[in-house]
Structure 1
């Protein structure tokens, strides 16, 4: 649908709604969330998470899993951008961005990073309210980063949705493989 421009009706309607909300204060808000969706903030959050997994929790296997998921998502995004070669929107651009548009790298990075962190922290947060708050925070942060890319005019809505879907599939497959590997290790230890 993206390659054949069959999704333009969706993109046009969502862009009109989101960019129709433009104001100076909202622009500042959206620029903040787009800034924390990539670059130095994501590298810093990733480094802190890796240090926490390695030095505090002593979970080396989880550290490897985390690294593979985050790096794999970035590589998948690069491959998909080169495969689709979709140009960025040019109608009303508030911020500048380079490279191809589909899928949104910010959306994929946010979904993957906050999704894998929620997965890894889930078993360490015992209280149901804490788990709910963590999931809600991750979802709101991921959604706001995606919306900021549409608002700033650097992505089509289908880029953002595509980024979420690609990242969701990558994350689900990675978690499935990780869980299967853990179960296999437990069975092997029990049979010794």
Structure 2
């Protein structure tokens, strides 16, 4: 997972994968069937390993504002972690753009999950009266998902935890303008 995360799908060779896994190529193919299937498994493992760090408090946050703020600040903590590849494996993945349609579908679906989670939380805020029915939950969700994705790119380029937290604070200052809710 970390090899794919740091180098990307195309730049990671079967020989490198076998070396880090401590197996030979026939064993890799026997276990996974293909490099593509191994990459798909690595994406799944990434989500299971790092998703809870970023999304853990999101569903239970008392307000939509708190949920999105939690998402951005947890992302600021996780994306530049020392000793791990920088940024988000899913956000930074380009395998789908390199001619692998099945992998592209997986990556697009994973990215869409972020947007969907935020959108659903905003829809819930509207339904519960936390936000006005005049807001545009999908547009707001796209804004905050985009901020989180940009934070991933900045982390890959060397932004620190504090740099990313500053981005999160600034993005949350947009909340009243986007939602009409004071905060």
TM-score by length of 1: 0.33
User: Which fold has the larger relative contact order, with Cα–Cα distance below 8 Å and residues 6 or more apart in sequence?
Assistant: 1
TM-score by length of 2: 0.34
